A and B are shown apart, each in its own frame.
Chain A
Amino acid sequence: MSSVAPIAPVPVAPTTARPAAVARRRLRRGHVARRIGINLLGLAVFTVMIFPVYWMVATAFKPGRNIQDYKPHWFPAPATLSNFTNAVHRPYFWTDVKNSLIIVSFVVVLSLTVAFLAALALSRFRFYGRTAFIFLILGTLMVPLAALIIPLYITLSRVHLINTLTGVIAMYMTFVLPFSVWTLQGFMRGVPRELEEAAMVDGSTRFGAFVRILLPLVAPGLVATSIFAFIQAWNEFIIAYVFLHDGSKQTITVWLASFTNLHGTDWGPLMAGATLTALPVVVFFVLIQRRIAFGLTAGAVRG
């Protein structure tokens, strides 16, 4: 840094531009160094995050003897599909995939519908107890799930919903819904009320204004919420494990757990099964994530 200072003071004009250029270059060099640092840090975080996923996929393709070798095999060479065939042919695989899909579809659709209407009420209407209700929603999110399992089990058994998909759907709604309502009402508050009023003056009914104007504008919120609901419902294990007893009624996460039994863990097929289980989440996310970033409300009001 101090290397610039000792430059001999040359009195003539041509050099006047130089100190500025030097300073600029130094600034640029500092800038570049910082960017490289940030990128390296990002790369490190990425590696830590992605490695378990890579290891899962790699293991799924390794033949059994390479999996538990003392010398780690970094790449699945030679590769095999036998773990996948093994996993898919285990009992209940397709049944449990179907169960999971049913549960997820219901949870996503139900929570979006109910949460949209609830968020609408919270963000657009004033009513007695509104603030209390918002805090109550937030409060339910703070209760740890483990604390609820036994009381919920007793409640559900009274209404004969143990060992049914309906019961699990109801359970999932209890933690997906508060989050969805909370998120969606935040998105809705970001949409100026005048937009709906303009639509109402223009000839819409109040509900028409919600559907035609508000709904498209909170689409990113709906997408974010649906991703959350999908991932939560698809990956959930404890509730499904406790509430569903029959192999034919279980979800895919519980099915995965069956790879660990008294005789140990069958790592190859387990990793193959886990890879298959992760696929729908990835596919769903890729299909839908493009819409999240799309800032729809821009330009509604003065800019």
Chain B
Amino acid sequence: MAAIQLVHVSKEYGGGALAVNDLNLEIAEGEFVVLVGPSGCGKTTALRMVAGLEEITDGEIRIGDRVVNDLAPRDRDIAMVFQNYALYPHKTVYENLVFGLRMRKVPKEERRRRVEEIARILGLEDMLQRRPAQLSGGQRQRVAMGRAIVREPQAFLMDEPLSNLDAKLRVQMRAEIARIQQTLAVTTLYVTHDQVEAMTMGHRVAVMRGGVLQQVDTPQRLYDSPGNLFVASFVGSPAMNLLEVVLERDGGTLVCRVGDTDLELPADTVGRRPALERFVGRHIAVGIRPEALSEAGEDPDAPRLRGRVLLVEALGAESLAHVEVTGTPLDRPELVDVAASQTHLLPVGERTATLLARLEHDTGVRPGHIVDLAVDTRRLHFFDLESGVAIAAAAAPVTAAAVG
């Protein structure tokens, strides 16, 4: 087991396009780090550079205490699981599993013992003599995992290993891979475009966009304090509601003007974000997680937004309400990447924004109703409209710059 370090790593393809731009990332010994981002963000390139399948234009990659920049893949002592499994079709499951050991000249008896042990752990004992074509998708996935595990390498590299499985199997294998990683405690770098996978599996999650690392943190902290608008919109399902608002001073307090409603900000929220003062009188972006919205109670002073219900999705444990309010939805290029996971159903006019609220499962709210949504103003997220960077609470330095 060894740590992996990427130091100022860049990858330039012909024509000057930077697939990976000055990537700094450290994966501690035994840690499970997930590299996540929309397609084309450079995450797979980064992984392949660690594997040695892609040359590095600039920077340094270390595995353990060795700089591996110029080492061939076979000399890096890593194992990789490919998106399409890449099982050797002309070899049986046993031969697939044993191939790496044979290449490394592990003694025959030892090879057999290790393959049989892995086959037992992964439930492949009855399939050792089959060829990949005779296996189901889930079984192939297991063989691909087994081929990596049996080598007992310094680190695992996994390139979207679950993306070819159906939804149910994916959830199952997700847990299985996380469990295996926990048991073996092997340093793992895992690439996916699925933020749910990233959040559920990784000890830490690294979010990339356009070849640039946006933020690295634990899943919870990534969710609680996204460093910029991109991360805010990318992490979380359903996605965060993002609005353009005006920050105003109203007597002794700050208020966010959403359309024609003023949301008063609690003193401690403002207190922990001294930077907010600089934005008074200006437009900023505000993010509201769906669970920070609820049906308003009797208290007339509580901050609330009034809107018309467009749709209610009953999910059993909760209901998701799409509520149209007066306000300006945020429209920025970096949010386009994740448009698919945004739930703005209807074309919204300039002055109306659709908010997603996570309501109780027994809510009486129906489409067409006018509802008051209580806003938990202590859980608002604030972003600089120009840079997209979070106006963060002082205690948590999470911007991209702070990570490097």
Contacts and interface: CB of A to CB of B under 8 A. Distances in A.
Interface of A: 192, 194-195, 197-206, 208, 213, 216-217, 296-303
Given A201-B53, A201-B79, A202-B147, A194 B86 contact: yes
Contacts of B86: 192, 194-195, 197-198, 300-301
Contacts of A200: 52-53, 72-74
The 4 closest A-B pairs by CB, nearest first: A299-B133, A203-B103, A299-B132, A301-B84
14 contacts: A199-B88, A200-B73, A201-B73, A201-B74, A202-B103, A202-B151, A203-B104, A205-B72, A216-B90, A217-B90, A298-B133, A299-B132, A300-B87, A302-B164
Contact of B89 (A199, A202, A205, A296): A296
Interface string B124-152: 00000001111101001000000100010
Given A203-B104, A299-B132, A302-B164, A198 B82 contact: yes
B206 interface: no
B51 A201 contact: yes
Interface string B55-93: 000000000000000001110101110111111111000
Interface size classification for chain B = 20 to 34
B99 interface: yes
B267 to A, nearest CB: 56
B interface: dominant SS = loop
Contact of A213 (B51, B52, B88, B147): B88
B100 interface: yes
Contacts of A198: 80, 82, 86-88, 147
A12 B140 CA distance: 55
Contact of A299 (B73, B76, B104, B131): B131
Given A204-B74, A300-B84, 19 more contacts: A192-B86, A194-B82, A197-B86, A200-B74, A201-B51, A201-B52, A201-B79, A203-B74, A203-B100, A205-B72, A205-B74, A206-B72, A208-B103, A296-B90, A299-B89, A299-B140, A300-B88, A301-B86, A302-B140
Contacts of B72: 200, 205-206
B131 to A, nearest CB: 6
Contacts of B151: 202
Contacts of A208: 103
B90 A202 contact: no
* Central interface residue in B78, B80, B99, B103, by most chain A CB within 10 Å: B103
A302 B84 contact: yes
